[in-house]
Amino acid sequence: MELTNSNIKHLKPGESLRDKRVTGLQLRAFENRKSFYLYFRTKAGKERRPKLGDFPTIKLADARSIAQDILFQVAQGRDPQKERQTAKNAPTVAELCDLYISEHSINKKSGWMDRMNFDNHIIPMLGKLKTHEVDVDDMERFHKSLSHIKPTANRMLALCSHMFNLAEKWKLRERHSNPCYLVTRYPEAMRKRYMTPEEATGIAMGLNKYKDSNPASVAFIYLLILSGARKAEIGNAKWDWLEGNKLHLPDSKTGAKLVHLPEQALEVIHTLPRYCDTITGIKDPTRIWRKIRLEAGCPDLRLHDLRHSFASAGISAGLSLTQIGELLGHADTRTTSRYAHLMDETATLAVNQTADILEKLLTNSH
């Protein structure tokens, strides 16, 4: 029997109707329902029999429209049923986060931080979405949801961007489909905190105060001040990596790195006992640093600010931005450019001092 609206009413369980308008469209009757199916073969020869829906929820005209759309996709070489199944089985963002941790973060020192950021920020908002379906609007909403903590919002956007780039590499998204690229990051005021001469005096007093009770922490802080190295670089530094006045780091935030140590830093190192493989024997001097900075009257001065202070001192000593970047181990010159204003300040001071001398010469010549 032909598939028509009038014949549908008389269709009994176990019977079926074939449509003459759309090849492969059928209506099959069961005990409690009547369902539309489409029978076709893909260009690869795979037989497909997807269910289109139940009658009368889907009318005959609707079934024909759906069937024609599927057959059009098949004519283009696609396999709609396989695509739907693939989409159904596609990983969610939460599953992508787990894959990111196991395949990428496992070798990162900061892998624990990625896990924390996924659990605290990304998964609660995006976790249930399918990885391949996340779009710019989703990322805009996510970024805006963290607008009360703008620096964190930008960090999370950068983490998501890296994760979606890897998703493309792992063939979980189409190439060049990263949904983060068109999201505008919040402007951030660059932190410009340096140790002032007055603060340096107070910090020196604190370091001297605790040098006997906490020699390792005091030495650690001195090395941060004198070398401009990152906290993790000093905490992980081993005796075997020290050659003369050079500390050869096989790995750091920017890869292998050479830290040049001044004589003052070497003097600090030579006071330390060799009771373990790392130079200071500790990973973090934060507990003592909190006491020292409070007593010095600079509670907001972070350990990382000592790195900025090293750069500031280097510029005052006449070093160029390129030299500063090399000493600090910057992989990107844009990172070093944050100190450009210090170069201007130093140049202004120098030109004023020069002008003062010339003014005196001119005055004395009369």
Residue pLDDT, tens place only, 196-236: 889 999 999 999 999 999 999 999 999 999 988 889 999 99
Cα–Cα distance for residue pair 33/52, rounded to 1 Å? 13
Q: What is the pLDDT of residue 127?
A: 95
Which pLDDT band, with edges at 50, 70 and 90, does 266 fall under?
Answer: very high
Q: What is the pLDDT of residue 88?
A: 76
Q: What is the pLDDT of residue 254?
A: 67
Q: What is the pLDDT of residue 350?
A: 66
Cα–Cα distance for residue pair 51/334, rounded to 1 Å? 57
- 44-48, 182-186, 275-279, 319-323: segment of lowest average pLDDT: 319-323
**Residue 356: how many other CB atoms lie within 10 Å:** 10
Which pLDDT band, with edges at 50, 70 and 90, does 282 fall under?
Answer: very high
In the chain, the percentage of residues whose pLDDT exceeds 90 is 61
Q: What is the pLDDT of residue 339?
A: 65
Q: What is the pLDDT of residue 216?
A: 95
- Whether residue 336 has pLDDT greater than 70: no
Mean pLDDT of the chain: 88
Condensed to tens digits (0 to 9), the pLDDT of residues 141-180 reads 999 999 999 989 999 999 999 999 999 999 999 899 999 9
Q: Tokens at residue 133, please?
A: 């379906």
User: Measuring CA to CA, which residue among 221, 271, 267, 96 is closest to residue 166?
Assistant: 96
Which residues in the chain are classed under CATH 1.10.443.10? 197-348
- Whether residue 32 has pLDDT greater than 80: yes
Mean local confidence (pLDDT), 346-364: 71
- 42-51, 100-109, 283-292: segment of lowest average pLDDT: 100-109
Beta strands per DSSP E along 83-206: none
Beta bridge partners of 41: 47
Q: Tokens at residue 55, please?
A: 């009658």
User: Measuring CA to CA, which residue among 233, 274, 234 is closest to residue 256?
Assistant: 233
Q: Tell me the CATH architecture of domain 93-169.
A: Orthogonal Bundle (1.10)
- Whether residue 184 has pLDDT greater than 90: yes
Q: Which residue has the higher pLDDT, 89 or 284?
A: 284
User: Measuring CA to CA, which residue among 260, 255, 233 is closest to residue 244?
Assistant: 260
Q: What is the pLDDT of residue 343?
A: 59
DSSP category for residue 241: G
Q: Tokens at residue 254, please?
A: 């920017």
Q: What is the pLDDT of residue 13?
A: 93
Which pLDDT band, with edges at 50, 70 and 90, does 347 fall under?
Answer: low
Q: What is the pLDDT of residue 328?
A: 74
User: Measuring CA to CA, which residue among 201, 192, 204 is closest to residue 345?
Assistant: 192
Rounded-to-5 percentages of helix, strand, coil across the chain: 55, 10, 35
SS3 60: helix
Q: What is the pLDDT of residue 342?
A: 65
Q: Select from 3.30.460.10, 3.30.160.390, 3.40.50.170, 3.40.1350.10 the CATH code of 5-89.
A: 3.30.160.390
- 153-162, 334-343, 350-359: segment of lowest average pLDDT: 334-343
Beta-carbon contacts of residue 88 (< 8 Å; ≥ 6 apart): none
SS3 238: strand
Q: Tell me the CATH architecture of domain 197-348.
A: Orthogonal Bundle (1.10)
Mean local confidence (pLDDT), 97-109: 86
Which pLDDT band, with edges at 50, 70 and 90, does 98 fall under?
Answer: very high
Q: What is the pLDDT of residue 135?
A: 96
AA identity, residue 16: S
Q: What is the pLDDT of residue 361?
A: 74
